Each structure stands twice: as C-alpha cells, then as structure tokens.
Amino acid sequence: MCGLSGILYKRAGSEGSFHVGNDLVMMLEPMTHRGKDSSGVTIMGEQIDGDLVIRIWTENVQDIPSVAARSEETVRHAGGVIRSTSTLDQFLRLVVNYQGEVADLADALIKIPGVAIHSIGTTSEVIKDIGTPAMMDVKHGVGEILGTHGIGHVRMATESRVDVNHAHPFWAYPFPDITVVHNGQLTNYHKLKRMYEDQGHHFQTGNDSEIIAVYLAGKLAEGQGLKQALRSSLDDLDGTFTYLVATKDGLGYAKDQWSAKPLVTMETDDVIAIASEEISLRGVFAEEIERIEPQNSEVMTWLL
C-alpha cells in the first residue's frame, strides 16, 4: 500500500511559482499510514541558475567529497560548467551549464562507483529519502521549494528493497523532467525490462515503477502527446496500477482496467490536486469542492 499526491497550478505559466513543495508535504503527511518506509517528491518549474540540476546519491557518506569531485570533473570533461555544488549526508546536488546530450552526461556520471542518479532536469528535481514526509521535509527543506507543479509519494514496500533508491518518484533515465509515482504492481515488469535493456536502456533499481517512467518517456520521444502516452500504457502495462506522471509542462494520471488502487481529484479554475485519499486534498482546498474518483481505464492530463 502506497500513497500518491500531485498538484498543478494552472496560472503558473503566467504568474510564476507557487509553494508546491509545501503543498506536497501537506498532502503526503495525512497519508503516512499508507507507507512509512520512504517518502519523495518531484518539484517541477523551479527557477534553476543553470541549464540542468542533477541529484546524485552515494552509497557511503564518507565518499561524498570524492564523489562530488569526480562528478564535477565528469561534467567538465563532458563540456559542462559547474554553477553550484551542495551536499547533504549521502546526497549531492549539482547545478550545471551543459549543452550536450543529457543521456551522454548521465551515462558518464553513472560510471562513478557507488552512485545513483535520482534525477536530471532542466526545471525539476527529485527529492526522496527513507522515512516519513515530515522527516524528509525537516532534512531536505522541501517545504521551502517553489515550483509550478509536482508529484509525491509515501511507500510501504511490498516487492522491492527498502532503501532510498527504491523510493519514489522514479526518474525516466536518461530523459530530463519526466518522473512517475505509482501504486500497484506490474505483472509484465520483467518482460518489459528485458526489452528495454535489449534496446540499450539502463535501469538503476529492481522496482517496476521505474519501467513506467521509461515507457512514458519513450512514447513522448516518439512524438505522442502526454494523454496519448497514458492511453497507450493501459494496453501495454499489465497488472494493477494507478500512477501519476509529471513532465516539464504537465501532470497526468492513469488507472488500470480494474481500478483497484484509489485516487481522488479536486479541481478549481486555479489548481488541480490529486491524491490517494480525500483527506490529503483538504490541506489544499479550505472550501468545499466536489471530489471526483477516477474510474477504471481512465486517464487525464493537465498542461501549463
């Protein structure tokens, strides 16, 4: 059992940034009973002082200084320029100027021993950690981060490992600004993973949710729109699933044909919020607003 949340400010395109980080934390906290193993968010629409923001995790905290140095060296060797570097425990955050292919940079960085790349984005980053949303917020300052939209997750592990790398959201390596949170289980995960690996894709975990992110990124790269990609997933993904996806300019959800995993939405002219439970939405909407429960085989998108 896991909990999902998502929010998009429709006026963000014309009116700038909103307190998306704080909103996501407030939405996740009432769902802590749905999962205390880990928590995470993607915040989209950040104002980044560079071309890319890169978030890296390293296996051993004592290796952070050397990992930071090697990461900076890797970026420079790829033709990039370091704008800023910050570390927190096992986490490294780089803001860089880089005009090359993101896939080339990601493939170079992932060769550094003991690291995982949690995200590379032009206006977005994934922040995730072990523990509850409140713990994540205190440690990482998520509530202070402004953006335009985002998604969040609390996890109770059922199939894969309990560690920070198996926490959600999952970034669609190596595509920038595409992440997914998921509640459910894919029964054709291993088949899809073998297919993508044969095509040269790199996976960082054994979590089936990572497949969804890469699947959607591939469909978008082929020229499909976000809603079309979500509809395609209903045919190509097997199992029980409800998932949210955040892209650079949009937010969407998809529910499988059985609709076993809950989802509720509330929407006004200014904002759309989505969560596994209605109680999570009450922190966003003080007034009484109609709640909608998406049904089986349903997809929906909102674009900035």
Amino acid at 302: W
Residue 143: how many other CB atoms lie within 10 Å:
18
Which domains does the chain carry?
A: 3-46+127-303 (3.60.20.10), 48-122 (3.30.70.600)
Instruction: Name which of 238, 255, 241, 240 is nearest 192 in CA terms.
Output: 238
Q: Which residues are marked as active site?
A: 2
273-301 as b/e, with b when 16 or more CB fall inside 10 Å?
bbbbbeebbbbbeeeeeeeeebeeebbbb
- pTM of the entire structure? 0.97
In the predicted model, what is the mean pLDDT of residues 18-45? 97
Cα Rg of the chain (Å, integer): 18
The mean of the pLDDT values for the chain is: 96
Dump pLDDT digits (tens) for 70-92.
999 999 999 999 999 999 999 99
pLDDT-derived band at 288 (thresholds 50, 70, 90) equals confident
| 93: nearest Cα among 66, 113, 120, 73 | 120
Residue 12: what pLDDT?
A: 86
In tens, the pLDDT along 89-145 reads 999 999 999 999 999 999 999 999 999 999 999 999 999 999 999 999 999 999 999
Rounded-to-integer distance, Cα 180 and Cα 301, Å = 14
Query: In Å, how far from its chain's centre is CA 35?
Result: 17
pLDDT for position 211 = 98
* Structure confidence at residue 287 (pLDDT): 84
pLDDT at res. 291: 93
pLDDT (mean) for 53-67: 97
Which of these ranges, 3-12, 23-32, 152-161, 293-302, has the smallest mean pLDDT? 152-161
Kindly state the average pLDDT of the residues 251-261: 97
The answer to whether 191 touches 201, Cβ cutoff 8 Å, is no
pLDDT band of 202, cuts 50, 70, 90: very high
Instruction: Name the token pair of 98.
Output: 């880089």
pLDDT of residue 27: 98
Whole-Å CA distances, 272 to 58, 237, 283: 35, 26, 13
Q: Residue 101's pLDDT is what?
A: 98
Cα–Cα distance for residue pair 269/262, rounded to 1 Å: 24
